[in-house]
Structure 1
Amino acid sequence: MKKGKGMKFVGDSRVTADKQKFIPKDYSEYPGRTEAFWPNFLLKEWLVGAVFIVGFLCLTVAHPAPLEKLADPTDTAYLPLPDWYFLFLYQLLKYKFASASYFVLGAIVIPGLAFGALFLAPFLDKGKERRPHKRPVATSLMILSFVAVFWLTYEAAAHVDWEAKAENNKPEPPSTVEIDTSHPGYAAYENSCLQCHGGELEGGPAAPSLIGIERSVDEIKDIAVNGIGNMPPDQFQGTEEELQQLAEFIVSVNEQE
Structure 2
Amino acid sequence: MAHGHKSDEKIVYVGDSRVRVKSTKLTPQDFSAYPGKSEVFVPNFLLKEWMVGVVVLVGILALTVSHAAPLGYPADPTNTQFIPMPDWYFLFMYQLLKYPYTSENFVVLGTVGVPGIAFGALLLAPFLDTGKERRFYKRPIASALMFLSLIACTYLTVVSWSHYQAELKEKNIIPEHIKREEEMHANKGTSGGAGGGGAKPPAQQAAAIVAPDDPAAQIYAKSTCLSCHGGDLKGMPSAKIPALRGVGDLHSKDEILGIIHNGIGQMPGQYDANIGKGLTPAEIEQLADWLSRQKKQ
Shorter-chain TM-score tier: 0.5 to 0.7
User: What TM-score, normalized by structure 2, do the two folds share?
Assistant: 0.56
Confirm or deny: 8 A CA contact 1:98 1:104 kept in the other structure: yes
Aligned pair in 2 of structure 1 residues 167, 61: CA closer, same or farther (>3 Å)?
farther
Q: Does 1:47 align with 2:51?
A: yes
Among 81, 84, 87, which residue is 1:80 paired with? 84
Confirm or deny: 8 A CA contact 1:196 1:204 kept in the other structure: no
Query: 1:87, 1:168 → 2: CA distance?
Result: 17
Gap runs ≥5 in structure 2: 1-25, 188-198, 211-228, 268-287
Among 228, 236, 249, which residue is 1:222 paired with? 249
Q: Does 1:97 align with 2:101?
A: yes
> 2:242 corresponds to which letter in structure 1?
A
- How do 1:1-257 and structure 2 match up within 5 A? 26-27=29-30, 29=32, 32-161=36-165, 167-170=174-177, 171=180, 176=200, 178-179=202-203, 186=205, 189-191=207-209, 195-197=232-234, 202=237, 206-207=241-242, 222-223=249-250, 230=264, 234-235=290-291, 243=296, 246=297
Aligned-pair identity in percent equals 42
Aligned pair in 2 of structure 1 residues 196, 25: CA closer, same or farther (>3 Å)?
farther
Query: 1:101, 1:205 → 2: CA distance?
Result: 36
User: What TM-score, normalized by structure 1, do the two folds share?
Assistant: 0.63
Deviation at 1:169, TM superposition (A): 0.8
Deviation at 1:31, TM superposition (A): 7.8
The count of corresponding residues between Structure 1 and Structure 2 is 205
Deviation at 1:71, TM superposition (A): 0.8
Gap runs ≥5 in structure 1: 1-22, 181-185, 211-218, 247-257
**Over aligned residues, Cα RMSD in angstroms?**
4.0
Aligned pair in 2 of structure 1 residues 121, 42: CA closer, same or farther (>3 Å)?
same
